[in-house]
Amino acid sequence: MEDYPKNLLELERRFSTEEACRQYLYELRWPDGFQCPRCSHEKGWRSSDGLIRCTPCDYKTSVIAGTIFEGTRKPLVLWFRAIWWVTSQKNGASARGVQRVLGLGSYETAWAWLHKLRRAMVRPGRDRLSGTVEVDETYIGGQKPGKRGRGAEGKALVVIAAQEDGKRIGRIRLQRVTDASARSLKPAVAQAVETGSRVRTDDWNGYNGLKHLGYVHEIVRKDSAVEDNLLPLCNRVAALVKRWLIGTHQGAVSHEHLDYYLDEYTFRFNRRTSRSRGKLFYRLLQQELPQSLKPMIDLSRASGQQGQEIAIYSSYASQGDTPIDL
């Protein structure tokens, strides 16, 4: 059952102590009762320090192990408020806002928190798109139009995958890639779309071989009916995400941090019809708990480019700021 606070007052009342926050995470993580991550035994003891000890194998774990809360020195009560605030912002959250609302002393802490939360919004390889999915790339940033297949200076290349939902756009996935070669594009598709789905692209050779990855590959070619709008869902998403980056973040998004923003946009877009802020809060927490993780797809098998995922994550750690103009 989905159980979440409906408004700020409920949040404040319900999550006023560390124990209440822990209990909530516990129920989200082990909805059917505790299960030892090591031996799968179903009996454990909870100690006062928040650790859970497995009875037969003595393995110690905690409800926050493997989550963004692990190792934090700040109380969960504060984290819960940060998540509430981030998910309740209609268009996007700013580090200044997080700092102000939580009364954090340092802007850097607020910034780091916000980026951790953005990262929690989309888990690579999880919950992939299915059915019919349009895939295309777009350049973000820079002044001049870029040439396909090569890097363009000052621009980031982003792969858009948009699920078809009648005439509407269903869920989306966005991923930055180094270039538009098959080596970059195929793992991006594998990460975003379930095998067996119908993938619609244009005739760019970077998409050759999708069939061998287990997709039904549909190639749209220019004709009078579609004119230049070969992939209308992707084109629409590209326009929306660019507008969002300009509008919400004043275009001040650096290359290094673009992944975070793409994750935040994806999270918001995919839940745009959800009216309840409490539900977004719930979803974000639920997504953050390792128990609900589906097995990662094996990218090495998909294309022999296992480094892709690591490369994406390592960019999160980078602190440098190289602004790109939008």
Indicate whether 43 belongs to the interface with Zn ion (CB under 5 A): no
- Angle, to 10 degrees, between the axis of helix 277-288 and the axis of helix 107-121? 80
State in angstroms the smallest separation of the CB of 37 from Zn ion: 8
Tokens of 14: 């319900």
Indicate whether 310 belongs to the interface with Zn ion (CB under 5 A): no
54 vs 284 by CB, closer to Zn ion = 54
What number of other Cβ atoms are within 10 A of residue 31's Cβ? 11
State in angstroms the smallest separation of the CB of 36 from Zn ion: 3
Residue from the set 13, 38, 96, 212 that interacts with Zn ion by CB under 5 A: 38
Site string (92-121) toward Zn ion, x via CB under 5 A: ------------------------------
- Please report which residue ranges of 67-152 form alpha helices under DSSP H: 76-88, 95-102, 107-121
Indicate whether 39 belongs to the interface with Zn ion (CB under 5 A): yes
Indicate whether 54 belongs to the interface with Zn ion (CB under 5 A): yes
Burial code (b: 16+ CB inside 10 Å, e: under 16) for 215-243 equals bebeebeeeeeeeeebbebbbbbbeebbe
Whole-number Cα distances in Å, 56 to 32, 36, 39, 119, 321: 19, 10, 8, 35, 50
42 vs 218 by CB, closer to Zn ion = 42
Q: Determine the residue type at 145.
A: P
State in angstroms the smallest separation of the CB of 49 from Zn ion: 18
Determine the interface stretch with Zn ion among 49-57, 129-137, 145-153, 159-167 (rule: CB under 5 A): 49-57
Indicate whether 30 belongs to the interface with Zn ion (CB under 5 A): no
By CB under 5 A, name the binding residues for Zn ion. Answer: 36, 38-39, 41, 54, 57, 59
